Amino acid sequence: MMEAGAVLALLLALGSTAAATFYGDSITFLPLKRVSNGTFEVEFYHRQNGRTSCVPRYTFTCNGVPCTTSVTTMPGFSPTDQDGTGQGRWCQSEVHTHTTIETNGTFSLRDSGCCWLSNVEGKTNWTSHAHLNLCNRSDSMSLNNCPVTATVSSLRVPQNCFSRVHLLAYDPDGDRVKCSFVSSSTVPANISLDEAACTLKSTGQVSVGVHVFEVMLEDFPARNITLTYADGTTEQREALDMTLPALCSVTVQFSLEVLPAIPSCEAGHVQPVFLSPTPMQGRVFHVPVGENFKLEAQSQAHHSSIHDFQVSGPDGMTKQFADKANGKAKLTLSWTPQGRDLHRATPVCFTAETNETQSDMRCVVVVVVSESSLVQGNASIRCAPNKIEVALEKASMPGIDMNYLKLMDDTCSLTSNSTHIIGIMSFTTCGTQIEDTGDYIVFRNEINSFELPREVITRRRTVKIDFYCRFPKILSISSFYTLHKSDYIFTESNFGSFAFSFEIFRNSNFTNKVDASSYPVQVRLMDPIYMGIRAQSEMPNVKLFVESCKGTPDDNSNNPLSYDLVKNGCLLDETMKVYPANDTTYNFEVQSFKFSGNFDQVYISCTVILCDSNSPFSRCAQGCLNSPGRRRRRQVLSTETIRRSITQGPLQFIGQEVPMGVNDGEDNSVRVKQSTETAEVIPSQASPAQPDTKASLWSITTLRRLGSDSSTAIFAVLFLASLLVLAIVVIYFTRKRKMEDSKLLISAAWDE
């Protein structure tokens, strides 16, 4: 005890030097243990954020009195992470503490001090607090656990790009977590907190400068449970009943610096955006004791330089930074949990750092399990456009009972045959989580084992099988012209996953599409082309709206050489016809055309939107807008998706070649049949004279190179007609001259 007291005194002394650099902190508990003499063993980790030396404070009280404490992290306190630029702008430390308490069923942990770093609200004092109900739960047959959360040391966001900050809110018992501002805290102006999603949101412009936050996380049972206390008394709790005190409450404190505005808030422009293989926000990893856990993340900023990643992680976690090409940077975190970490739910958060700003904060949870208890079976995954099919090989999991397996949403059931356990789910059901990795959309679910309520013992091993489907946000379009364009798959939070298919059909029935092997699709000028766009969505009551369609000579929809078919929802091409269809289909017909010059193919690109069909304010409801100025901004409540560009093609043009000369007895003449885009050459009937063939071919070639508008076509016809008239005049005078010469010869003969 003297040694523990000496350590505590040292910590108190060190803590006094760090008070002025408080940036925030968080507390996470290990599962509590009940000792035979009626006391409880409490272990917790305290992460504290600051700058420069980052020496942690330690003045916690347990149930109102100084904790009888054994600090298992020895002094020296090298930070778990710190600013790598040498400027000492941020750092974080972690202390592991073990204490034994006597209690009548509740446990409170508290610490307070001064001072917050200088902030807009003028907040100085801070308080860390946790309150835990020490009871056995009927659903887990173990003591209650607290929510898990953390943040990086220093959050930063440009003023014009501040929309939301996602906080980690994970509960080891599967309880529902509610987030709220601490009652005594000063809430910055124009900021709200989504209690269910645990997300800070801006409701207006937030002033530039540092703002500090104190958030309380509380958990409530997701199902009906019975709580049993040490004295034998019991308490019934109904699912999601938030009128009673929370099973546990714990605070997280952090600072957020609002920076001056930057030129663009586009993800990946100046602000780094995360790319695959970065894990999704809130993902849970299960790692056996003694096994190395490795996390990889990648971020990109095209117009800035990523120089580091800021990390909040456990003591002993190592960080590697790699600078890559095209504005990309890679983070690799490694951690090997030890025996004392068994059953620990460890938060890990990180951001990508630039001089101007930082990326969004991502947080995951690493749950440490015993090596012998974890089963990883063999699974095969099939990814369809709107669902996942998983098949588990029974032989890889001997002795596993399917009746004790569940998906993330346990209301969804699994099926089986003689060899496999099978699960089929859409992207929006069975608890499937959507992960936006920047360049990919990932749909992820899990198969887990579970125990029956009131089950005292078990001989079943824990099953944990993670599976996912990954799709590019926008499938890459090859410039190789024979490639048929694949479906486009997108994801947005309010619309889930949705896809667009864009096909060319053989007739106006729009049932017989042109096979991919037949691309490029060969057509003649003026032929009718039948095309159809179809939307697929798991969401009900959606409507497809085609806002624009245009032709380009290649698959670059931004090519300045283009021709509008539809613009602002209005039909511009007089040959275009839209066929009646359902809300998620757009079928149209248009006469084929080509671009002037050395172009023999056309691609069609359309901008499409999905809307809530019940919304009278969506872009779909507006229809044709002759004046672009009437277009409304996208609804805040997301009654429509953002505009998506899809492309199909190419259409390749075929026709008769222009003959370089015709030699068919006495007939070498040609005449023009059409002159809109090209001239088709057809042998004429016998004529009394032969015009200059080279001149005729030259005029036809000239017509090929002229523009496609009607005035150019009229000029071309007149030009050709003038050449023909000139030829006739030449022939007339030639014949007249020959006749005069003949008369002279006859006259001379008579004279002789």
Consecutive 10-residue averages of pLDDT for the chain (752 residues): 37 41 91 82 90 73 80 60 83 88 85 90 92 88 91 94 93 94 92 93 93 96 89 89 93 95 87 89 89 94 93 94 91 94 94 94 92 64 79 77 79 86 84 74 79 45 74 42 52 68 91 85 88 84 91 86 93 93 94 84 91 85 75 53 86 58 33 31 32 31 37 53 63 57 41 42
Helix (H) or strand (E) holding 483, with range, is none
pLDDT of residue 455: 44
From residue 139, alpha-carbon distances to 225, 226, 244, 246, 452 in Å are 6, 8, 18, 16, 8
**Domains observed in the chain:** 2-261 (2.60.40.60), 266-369 (2.60.40.10), 373-472 (2.60.40.3210), 488-653 (2.60.40.4100), 670-743 (no CATH)
What is the per-residue DSSP string for 652-704? EE--PPPPS---BTTB--EEES--SSS--EEE----SS---HHHHHHHHHHHH
Q: Tokens 């071309």 identify what position?
A: 716
Q: Judge residue 454's burial from the number of C-beta atoms within 10 Å of its C-beta, 0-12 exposed, 13-18 middle, 19 or more buried.
A: exposed
pLDDT (tens digit per residue) in 112-141: 988 899 999 999 999 999 999 988 888 887
CA gap 542, 490 in Å, rounded:
15
If one counts every other C-beta atom within 10 angstroms of the C-beta of residue 275, the result is: 17
pTM beyond 0.75: no
Omega before residue 337 within 30° of 0, cis:
no
- Would you state the pLDDT for residue 729? 55
CB atoms within 10 A of CB 22: 23
> Which CA distances in Å does 283 have to 176, 256, 331, 446?
16, 23, 17, 11
pLDDT of residue 182: 94
* Token pair in block for residue 329: 């940077």
How far is Cα 200 from Cα 207, in angstroms, rounded to an integer?
Answer: 15
Q: What is the dihedral of CA 510, 515, 520, 521, to 10 degrees?
A: -40
- Separation CA 296–CA 289 (nearest Å): 20
**Omega prior to 115 cis, within 30 of 0:** yes
- Beta carbons within 8 Å of 305's beta carbon, 6+ residues apart: 327, 354, 355
Question: Which string of DSSP letters, residue by residue, matches 571-604?
Answer: E--TT-EEEP--TTEEEEEEE----TTT--EEEE
Tally of CA atoms within 13 A in the half-sphere of 195 that contains its CB = 10
Name the residue with tokens 């004529």. Answer: 687
